[in-house]
Structure 1
Amino acid sequence: MPEITPLDKMRLPFGGQEIEFQHLTHESGGVPFLRIRIREGKRFTIFDVDPVSAQKWGDLMQTWARDHAGDAP
């Protein structure tokens, strides 16, 4: 059974989705994961993301946010 540690949560202002971030480790060891749970109404989408993919995803999101920070109302 994996150990899940809550990290943070947020609600998106335009879609209302609730996003939870959790640290996931397995008793047997191995690669830790960043679990991203997106709740839209009664539906959940869950991503378990490895550190290398999380770094790439985070870098892309930071670049996009920096390039479009002035576009938000």
Structure 2
Amino acid sequence: MSDDTIRHPEEAVATLATINAPWSREITFQQVDHDSGLKILRMRIKEGRARFTIIDLDQPTVAAMRAVMDQWSGG
């Protein structure tokens, strides 16, 4: 199979918000729409200059995380 026959998945990425967090961390939330129709929330945590943690979340996971965070924050 030649390289020109390999099709890589396409995704459209839109930044929703960036939050400055404690200890010099920056959290960026992005909506990622895949060409398959899958929609996810990408959370990118930047620590320092070069370390990144990237977590892709589906809607049920975001809802569960939100419930925990709302309870913890008193919201």
**Same structural fold, with TM-score higher than 0.5 when normalized by the shorter chain:** yes
CA RMSD of aligned residues (A): 1.2
- For residue 63 of structure 1, give the secondary structure of its aligned residue in structure 2: helix
Equivalent in the alignment of 2:29: 21
How far does residue 28 in structure 1 lie from its aligned partner after superposition?
Answer: 2.1
Structure 2 letter corresponding to 1:11: N
Greater C-alpha radius of gyration:
2
Equivalent in the alignment of 1:40: 47
Question: What is the distance in 1 between the residues matched to 2:19 and 2:64?
Answer: 21
* Structure 1 residues without counterparts, runs of 5 or longer: 68-73
* Structure 2 residues without counterparts, runs of 5 or longer: 1-9
Greater share of strand: 2
Extract structure 1 runs of 4+ deviating beyond 3 A. Answer: none
- For residue 60 of structure 1, give the secondary structure of its aligned residue in structure 2: helix
Structure 2 letter corresponding to 1:44: F
Percent identity, aligned pairs only, is 34
